[in-house]
A and B are shown apart, each in its own frame.
Chain A
Amino acid sequence: MAVLLSLLAGSELYGQSPESDNKQANTNENMEIHSHHHHNQSGMSVAEPLDDRSVYQLGREWTDHRGESIQLDQFLGNPVILVMFYGSCREVCPILIQDSWRLYREVDERVRESVSVVAVTFDTEKDTPDVLMEYAEKERLNLSNWYFVTSTPRAVRELATVLGVQYRKRSDGMYDHSNLVAVLDKQGVVAARIEGLGRPVEKAAGEIEQMVQREESR
Chain B
Amino acid sequence: MKQGIKTKLKVGTMAFLLFAVLSTRADAMVVDTLTVVVAGTMEDARFVPDRLTVQTGDVVRFDVREGIHTVTAYHPDNRRDIGIPEQANSFDSGPLTVGDIWFLQISVNGVYNYFCIPHESMGHTGQIIAE
Contact check, A92 vs B121: say whether CB atoms are below 8 A apart: no
- Contacts A92-B68, A197-B94 aside, 17 further interface pairs with beta carbons under 8 A come to A90-B42, A90-B121, A90-B122, A91-B67, A92-B95, A92-B118, A95-B68, A95-B95, A95-B118, A98-B78, A98-B117, A105-B77, A138-B121, A140-B79, A140-B80, A198-B94, A198-B95
Q: Would A90 and B118 be within 8 Å (CB), given that A95-B70, A197-B95 are in contact?
A: yes
Report the nearest B residue to A97, measured CB to CB: B117
Name 7 interchain pairs, CB-CB below 8 A, sorted by A.
Answer: A90-B122, A94-B120, A95-B117, A95-B118, A98-B92, A105-B77, A197-B95
Contact check, B117 vs A94: say whether CB atoms are below 8 A apart: yes
Q: What residues of chain A have their CB less than 8 Å away from a CB belonging to chain B?
A: 89-95, 98, 101, 105, 138-141, 197-198
Q: Chain A residues with Cβ under 8 A from B42's Cβ? A: 90
Interface of A is mostly: loop
CB of A197, distance to nearest CB on chain B (Å): 4
Q: What residues of chain B have their CB less than 8 Å away from a CB belonging to chain A?
A: 42, 67-68, 70, 72, 77-80, 92, 94-95, 117-122
Interface centre among A90, A94, A105, A138 (most CB of B within 10 A): A90
Q: Chain B residues with Cβ under 8 A from A138's Cβ? A: 121
Q: Chain A residues with Cβ under 8 A from B95's Cβ? A: 92, 95, 197-198
Q: Would A91 and B68 be within 8 Å (CB), given that A139-B79, A198-B95 are in contact?
A: yes
CA distance A138 to B118 in the complex (A): 13
The list of the 5 closest CB pairs from A to B, nearest first, reads A198-B94, A140-B79, A197-B95, A198-B95, A94-B117
Report the nearest A residue to B96, measured CB to CB: A198
CB of A205, distance to nearest CB on chain B (Å): 15
CB of B119, distance to nearest CB on chain A (Å): 6
Q: Chain A residues with Cβ under 8 A from B119's Cβ? A: 90
CA distance A92 to B97 in the complex (A): 11
Report the nearest B residue to A92, measured CB to CB: B68
CA distance A105 to B77 in the complex (A): 9
Report the nearest B residue to A141, measured CB to CB: B79
Q: Chain A residues with Cβ under 8 A from B117's Cβ? A: 94-95, 98
Q: Chain B residues with Cβ under 8 A from A95's Cβ? A: 68, 70, 94-95, 117-118
CA distance A198 to B79 in the complex (A): 16
Q: Chain A residues with Cβ under 8 A from B94's Cβ? A: 95, 197-198
CB of A179, distance to nearest CB on chain B (Å): 10
Report the nearest A residue to B120, measured CB to CB: A94
CA distance A140 to B76 in the complex (A): 10
CA distance A210 to B57 in the complex (A): 41
Report the nearest A residue to B67, measured CB to CB: A91
CA distance A98 to B67 in the complex (A): 18
